Amino acid sequence: MASKVIHAFYDDDDVLMLAVKKVKAAKLHIDEVYCPFPVHGLDKAMGLAPTRLAITAFLYGLVGLTVATLMMNFIMIEDWPQDIGGKPSFSYLENLPAFVPIMFELTVFFAAHLMVITFYLRSRLWPFKEAENPDVRTTDDHFLMEIEIHDNEQELRDLLMNTGAVEINISEKNSH
Amino acid sequence: MYTFSNRLKIASIVLMIVGALGIIGGFVMAPGTIAEAKEMVASHDGGHGDAHAAEAEHATKESDHAVAESHGEEHDASHDQHLLDQLKNRPWAALYVAAFFFMMISLGVLAFYAIQRAAQAGWSPLLFRVMEGITSYLVPGGIIVFVILLLSVLHMNHLFVWMDADVVAQDALLQGKSGYLNPTFFLIRAAIFLAGWIGYREYSRKLSIAQDDSDDNSNFKLNFRISAGFLVFYLISESIMSWDWIMSVEPHWFSTLFGWYIFASMFVSGITVIAMVTIYLKSKGHLPDVNDSHIHDLAKFMFGISIFWTYLWFSQFMLIWYSNIPEEVTYYVTRIADYKLPFFGMVAMNFLFPVLLLMNSDYKRINWFVVLTGIVILAGHYMDIFNAIMPSTVGKNWYIGIPEIGSVLFFAGLFIFWIFRALSTQPLQPKRNPFIEESRHFHY
């Protein structure tokens, strides 16, 4: 289904933040904001639900810690017990200090990589994907606010113009 | 303007009086003769024989100690003298640990403050007066530590074994170090460091107050320059101070990252105290412009520097554990043998606790959560200094009793009294700092 949306362009992140607050104060729903770089506090101002990415990162970290522990226990203690630096105790716990750096590294490795992959999946990003941003300038120096029009085009135009938009366009959008 | 409330003033004075009684009690209770010392130990654990046997076994394991101590019949007598020295050291060591700990907090805050100045940070100017208030304790705190060091040099106590000329005469390693580690040079260094820290503190504070009534930014710019210069002096002096005042209680042992390690301890304790004092002042209705984001940022530092401290603690521990060189590893052998609970308990308090409690972003904004974590962090870093000083001065005769608690209470009282008195002398919010607007609108 195609719907009409209004695109308001801004050239400053502070102006954008104020504009978002004004639009929210007018009880309008903002569909999306496209930015060339992350703007601090924008998600809160838009009223987006808090991200759960941090929780997944913590869980991935625990997975990494577990993998490291089991892996080092298998390699160094069970499968081929090793005597390094005169520490042939063949016990995981007694050799623990030697394994801590590996446990730390794999915790970070798992948390970082799996979090990035989760982020890509959740944002529906993959190689060769066609860009979703409606205007190439949002990858350079412009911010774009997108609001769906429900027979209130002129009203929206006036409101957005007052918030300091540098350009306002109307376009058709295929909702997915 | 903040006025030092009577309740807090009375509380701090009560802490000082109770603490002073504890300190005096500790000195009165310390044994005067070998017989008294033996009696105290016997009544304390009842089975001194067992402990003694264990130690004999221990001594044979450590070959270098065995050579020094295995004099047959002489052994018992020298052991008893050693026991007496350790028990006599205990009130001194307790006093020194607490005095150093509170001095270290204000020194850590001073470093944090200088970094904010040198970085021209925009978020923190609202907290500058709080930081300046805490660093005011550096004057009495530093002088007290210096006096204790001076008394050590005058042989009032035996905290620093290398100050004893008889010991040095029999010890080739200490003779080799005596060009650096001798009482005169030791005191000269201490005086230079304290003069530098206190001098910077007073000058920067003066410029900070002058900036309030000035009509240009010259004070601010000068403060920026001297802060950058001070940080260079601080990094060197803090490192040498940690060798002198802490590492030298165990003069045979050395660690190349010790300066950083003590720095991490003082930095995280200092930041924690900034957060706690700020939260206290806010709860009394002061600092109206300080918002959740400022507390959030301080809590992030508490979280981050706790991990940094653990990183250094572990780096030091793992390399020494792995290489297992006798002259290095004795440091950890004594701590794990005689100080198991405080040694590993400290890691739990300084690492696990803050990591788990402050990991969640939202918890860094909940004031009582930050205060709770802060109390554990401060206790943990007190234990850190305790673990650094006690094993080398009182050995296995440690206990957290009247001398230790008394010393902590006394210096806590003095610390609170001094910093809140300093906070009440000037408005809590700088007026004309060029970044004050940015700080007011700070949100993360």
**Has residue B274 got a pLDDT over 50?**
yes
DSSP state of A103: H
Q: Tell me which chain A residues have a C-beta less than 8 angstroms from the C-beta of B437.
A: none
pLDDT, one tens digit per residue, over B56-108 is 444 444 444 444 444 445 566 777 888 888 888 899 999 999 999 999 999 99
For B295-347, the three-class secondary structure string (H helix, E strand, C coil) is HHHHHHHHHHHHHHHHHHHHHHHHHHHHHCCHHHHHHHHHHHHHCHHHHHHHH
Q: What is the mean pLDDT of chain B?
A: 89
Residue of A nearest to B322 (CA): A85
Residue A9 sits at φ, ψ, to 5 deg, of -100, 140
For range B166-175, the mean pLDDT: 91
pLDDT, one tens digit per residue, over B113-154 is 999 999 999 999 999 999 999 999 999 999 999 999 999 999
pLDDT, one tens digit per residue, over A36-78 is 999 988 888 888 888 889 899 999 999 999 999 999 999 999 9
- The pLDDT value recorded for residue B61 is 42
Q: Tell me which chain B residues have a C-beta less than 8 angstroms from the C-beta of A98.
A: 318, 322
The domains of chain A are located at 2-50+134-174, 53-122
Q: Tell me which chain A residues have a C-beta less than 8 angstroms from the C-beta of B325.
A: none
pLDDT level of residue B174 (50, 70, 90 thresholds)? very high
Q: What is the mean pLDDT of chain A?
A: 89
CB-based contact (8 Å) between B321 and chain A?
yes
- Report angle CA B199, B200, B201 to the nearest 5 degrees: 90
Beta strands across the sheet bearing A167-174 = A32-34, A143-148, A2-10, A167-174
Of the listed ranges B96-110, B302-316, B389-403, B414-428, the least confidently predicted one is: B389-403
- The pLDDT value recorded for residue B181 is 92
Q: Looking at chain B from residue 354 to 383, which residues have their Cβ under 8 Å from any Cβ of chain A?
A: 359-361
pLDDT level of residue A90 (50, 70, 90 thresholds)? confident
For range A157-172, the mean pLDDT: 88
Inter-residue contact A21 to A45 (CB < 8 Å): yes
- The pLDDT value recorded for residue A156 is 87
Contact B323 A85 (CB under 8 A): yes
**Has residue B401 got a pLDDT over 70?**
yes
User: Per-residue b/e over A121-133, b at no fewer than 16 CB within 10 Å?
Assistant: eeeeeeeeeeeee
Q: Tell me which chain A residues have a C-beta less than 8 angstroms from the C-beta of B314.
A: 97, 100
- The pLDDT value recorded for residue A175 is 57
ipTM for this model: 0.78
pLDDT level of residue A7 (50, 70, 90 thresholds)? very high
Q: How many helices (H) and strands (E) does chain B have?
A: 19, 0
Q: Looking at chain A from residue 43 to 62, which residues have their Cβ under 8 Å from any Cβ of chain B?
A: 54, 58
Distance (Å, whole) CA B220 – CA A16: 33
Contact A97 B317 (CB under 8 A): yes
- The pLDDT value recorded for residue B151 is 95
Distance (Å, whole) CA B178 – CA B161: 12
User: Is B219 exposed, middle or buried (CB count within 10 Å of its CB: 0-12, 13-18, 19+)?
Assistant: buried
pLDDT, one tens digit per residue, over B281-296 is 999 999 999 999 999 9
Q: Which of A40, A85, A97 sits opposite B444 (nearest CB)?
A: A40
More confident residue, A171 or A10: A10
Contact B318 A101 (CB under 8 A): yes
For residue B78, the number of C-alpha atoms closer than 13 Å in the C-beta half-sphere is: 8
The domains of chain B are located at 6-41+75-295+393-440
- The pLDDT value recorded for residue A105 is 96
Contact B322 A85 (CB under 8 A): yes
- Report angle CA A42, A47, A50 to the nearest 5 degrees: 85
Non-local CB neighbours of B362 within 8 Å, separated by 6+ positions:
none
CB-based contact (8 Å) between B81 and chain A?
no
More confident residue, B158 or B417: B417
Q: Tell me which chain B residues have a C-beta less than 8 angstroms from the C-beta of A101.
A: 318
User: Is B99 exposed, middle or buried (CB count within 10 Å of its CB: 0-12, 13-18, 19+)?
Assistant: buried
Contact B322 A97 (CB under 8 A): yes
A2-50+134-174, what's its fold?
A: Alpha-Beta Plaits (3.30.70)
CB-based contact (8 Å) between B66 and chain A?
no
pLDDT level of residue B203 (50, 70, 90 thresholds)? very high
For range B156-183, the mean pLDDT: 91
- The pLDDT value recorded for residue B278 is 96
- The pLDDT value recorded for residue B45 is 52
Residue of A nearest to B325 (CA): A85
The number of C-beta contacts closer than 8 angstroms across A and B is 23
Contact A54 B361 (CB under 8 A): yes
Non-local CB neighbours of B363 within 8 Å, separated by 6+ positions:
B299, B357, B369
pLDDT level of residue B362 (50, 70, 90 thresholds)? confident
Distance (Å, whole) CA A165 – CA A10: 5
**Percent of chain B beyond pLDDT 90?**
73
Inter-residue contact B417 to B12 (CB < 8 Å): yes
For range B163-186, the mean pLDDT: 92
Cα R_g (chain B), whole angstroms: 23
pLDDT level of residue B51 (50, 70, 90 thresholds)? very low
